[in-house]
Structure 1
Amino acid sequence: MNVSRMATAAAFVCSAGLLVLALSGCGPATETATAATACPTAAAQDGVQPDWTLVGTTGSVAVTAPTETTAPTITVAAPFSVAETQVHTLQAGDGPVVADSATASVCYVGVNGRDGAVFDSSYQRGDSVEFPLDGVVPGFQKAIAGQTVGSSVAVAMNAADGYPQGQPAAGILPGDTLVFAIKILGAG
């Protein structure tokens, strides 16, 4: 996986905080650090089979779900792009269904399909993030709403469902497809 650590993207967009703040238009988001909401920071073992492989309009992506002790992996054959947003449940949870307007607590990693670079990751920080789904970009909401708490999901979102005009401070250009692996920890 082509990994490039960047400072938290929303720090550039909102002067402080997380990309999720940018996803939510700089609205309220909370980073938490309790044991129950910590995100594992360990890398997955080599050779683990992906839970989802998607051939895009260009390139491809392979996503492996997180475990209790490892972060997910997203491997991109760049440049990767999709014409329509694609959501895939990597592992179904057994909690309640997440409503469209819920406030969700998640661990996530976001990768740019153009170059395979990680542009934000709560897994790298080791802390989950909480935010209202009705305040995030459409692709992130499509990935989480309707899923069950405890699920791990992946989304490959086209630029229209992400950042149509780009997000230069995060290295996202107009037209970039974004890929997220998300673990839904809670919703209310």
Structure 2
Amino acid sequence: MRSSAAITAAAAAMAIGLAACGSRSDTAAETTSSSTTTTSFELPPPATDTAALACPTAAPDAAAEPEWTLSGATGSIKVTGSTDTAAPRVEVQAPFSVTETQVQTLKPGDGPVVSENATVLVCYMGVNGRDGSVFDSSYQRGMPVDFPLDGVVPGFQKAIAGQKVGSTVAVAMVPADGYPEGQPAAGIQPGDTLVFAIKILDATP
């Protein structure tokens, strides 16, 4: 399966590249739900067969209580992790920013611990804290992607390494752990704080 999703490495050693992306602009004071924006990216072909797996595409329950509420240096976020039948929700009071990368385990898994150099199979949603727009989502495409953790932005690696397979996690990352120079094709500007909601489906050493 060749996915149209990607997370591009900010460091020079990272090789994954963005292809194209859409974004949405909102006012700074507006609360934005991430479940309404569409995008497209490119990842290398996955190392494992993901045809039998799927990421839920249904909208999350509007009445579900957030599992992580975080006030930033500016703005705030509320994150509700995905379930077996529904995608996650990331609500942003924009502009949201943090001064240090923060990781939250929303639902712990019971699988093996993920190593720093593992190849992982995940469903994920990426949200720009500046305006609340979704810049990438495998949930919108309905299919997971896999990639080595040493080939993604540092903040994504920090979110997953050390977690157990089966866990649902979220991360709010400083620009240095994401795209310090920005990614214009993704609508990401220098200085943007990024938020990811991630479901870890599998990992191999």
* Amino acid across the alignment from 2:91: T
* Amino acid across the alignment from 1:111: V
Query: 1:67 aligns to what SS in structure 2?
Result: coil
The residue aligned with 1:60 is 76
The residue aligned with 2:38 is 5
Root-mean-square deviation (CA, aligned residues, Å) is 1.3
In terms of fraction of residues, the more helix-rich structure is 1
Matches within 5 A, 1:162-177: 162-177=178-193
1:74 paired to 2:93? no
* Amino acid across the alignment from 2:93: A
Q: Is the 8 A contact 1:79 1:115 kept in 2?
A: yes
Alignment partners' CA distance in 2, 1:33 and 1:168: 29
1:34 paired to 2:67? no
Q: Is the 8 A contact 1:102 1:132 kept in 2?
A: yes
Q: Is the 8 A contact 1:32 1:127 kept in 2?
A: no
Q: CA 1:29/1:158 → structure 2, altered by over 3 Å: closer, same or farther?
A: farther
Q: Is the 8 A contact 2:50 2:145 kept in 1?
A: no
Alignment partners' CA distance in 2, 1:186 and 1:45: 25
Describe the superposition over 1:79-121 as per-residue Cα deviations: whole angstroms up to 9, x where unpaired: 0000000000000000000000000000000000000000100
Gap regions ≥5 residues in structure 2: 1-32
CA displacement at 1:32 relative to structure 2: 5.6
Over 3 Å off, 4+ runs: none
Report the count of equivalent residues: 170
The residue aligned with 1:115 is 131
The residue aligned with 1:99 is 115
Gap regions ≥5 residues in structure 1: 11-16, 22-27
CA displacement at 1:46 relative to structure 2: 1.1
Q: Is the 8 A contact 1:105 1:131 kept in 2?
A: yes
Q: TM-score, normalised by structure 1?
A: 0.87
Alignment partners' CA distance in 2, 1:173 and 1:47: 33
Q: TM-score, normalised by structure 2?
A: 0.80
Q: Is the 8 A contact 1:32 1:129 kept in 2?
A: no
The residue aligned with 1:160 is 176
CA displacement at 1:4 relative to structure 2: 2.5
Percent identical residues:
66
CA displacement at 1:5 relative to structure 2: 1.6
